[in-house]
Amino acid sequence: MRNHVRFKGIKKLYIALIFIFMYAPIAMLIVQSFNKSKSRGHWGGFTLSWYRSLFTNADIGQAFVNTILLALLSSVIAVVLGTMACICMSRMRKTPRTVMTGITNIPMLNADIVTGVSFMLLFLTLRIQFGFGTILLAHITFNIPYVILSVMPRYRELNPHIYEAALDLGASPVYAFFKTVLPEIMPSILSGGLMAFTMSIDDFIITHFTAGAGVHTLSTKIYSEVKLGIKPEMYALSAMIFLSVLVLLTLVQRGSNMLGVGGKED
């Protein structure tokens, strides 16, 4: 009995340690974003001025617009391409399908730096002007696997006769797809899209290698600012990015939970 109690104590301590290691840096960041003093070692009192100056900075405003635009465009395009890929892949025979699934999974596991440098080389070789377009292409590419990962299982478990039933009732193939198949897999598409959106906002390395001069997203902006010296505004910005990603991930989780319940009902 005593042993059990002691063991429980150790378990709690262990969990506490893990959380401290994981979140202490972020907690530090958030605390510093409210620190009036520019010196990191010294607490100069609470202030919101870093947040205030953040919102009045035009460069950061532009970077914010770029980030959101990239995330929106790349996730929407990735959703369309990824869903189409799922439909084609699930019609394949088993062996090619397994190979294709493996191939689409590799970019997710590949080191971002490798993906980033490869994109840079590719764009250089093809003489494509670096800028918003190249970042977008790169983001679409690394987002597609997340969409496939989310949509594929749902599409595979979809009753194939649903599409045939719609045809049988007189629907054209296009009408049948949009009226019956698409609504059935919509939850997984939304959750995949949200995941892709988050990944796009989150990305630094690949963006860094494909952006070229002049175009910034929030993450590359923070990097270049912090390189030059201490900028507490960047702490504030990082804290806000952390919070928004947290919110997005919670939404994705909620979405896929609801998906799970829907699946049980069938």
Residues paired with 35 in a beta bridge: 46
Residues paired with 46 in a beta bridge: 35
- Which CB sits closer to another protein, 214 or 265? 265
- Which CB sits closer to another protein, 11 or 179? 179
To the nearest whole angstrom, how small is the minimum distance from the Cβ of residue 162 to another protein? 5
To the nearest whole angstrom, how small is the minimum distance from the Cβ of residue 157 to another protein? 12
Read off the DSSP letter of residue 172. -
- Which CB sits closer to another protein, 100 or 158? 158
String marking each residue 101-140 x if it binds another protein according to CB under 8 A = ----------------------------------------
- Which CB sits closer to another protein, 184 or 202? 184
Six token digits for residue 177: 């797809």
| Closest by CA position to 231, among listed 79, 84, 55, 32 | 32
- Quick count: other Cβ atoms within 10 Å of Cβ 258? 13
Six token digits for residue 44: 């100069």
To the nearest whole angstrom, how small is the minimum distance from the Cβ of residue 264 to another protein? 10
Handedness of CA 5, 8, 10, 12 (dihedral sign): negative
| Distance from C-alpha of 176 to C-alpha of 173, rounded to nearest angstrom | 5
Candidates 52-60, 76-84, 142-150, 157-165; binding stretch for another protein (CB under 8 A): 157-165
Q: Applying CB under 8 A, does 162 fall inside the site for another protein?
A: yes
- Which CB sits closer to another protein, 114 or 162? 162
Buried b (16+ CB within 10 A) or exposed e, 10-31: eeeeeeeeeeeeeeeeeeeebe
- Which CB sits closer to another protein, 139 or 154? 154
Q: Applying CB under 8 A, does 166 fall inside the site for another protein?
A: yes
Q: Applying CB under 8 A, does 37 fall inside the site for another protein?
A: no
Residue with tokens 């993450």, as numbered in its chain: 219
- 35 phi/psi in degrees, rounded to 5: -85, 125
Q: Applying CB under 8 A, does 180 fall inside the site for another protein?
A: yes
Interacting residue with another protein among 172, 250, 253, 257 (CB under 8 A):
172
Tell how far CA 7 is from the center of its chain: 38
- Which CB sits closer to another protein, 22 or 186? 186
Q: Residue length, the chain?
A: 266
Residue with tokens 């990824």, as numbered in its chain: 82
To the nearest whole angstrom, how small is the minimum distance from the Cβ of residue 181 to another protein? 10
Q: Applying CB under 8 A, does 58 fall inside the site for another protein?
A: no
Contact residues toward another protein (CB under 8 A) are: 159, 161-162, 164-173, 175-176, 179-180, 183-184, 265-266
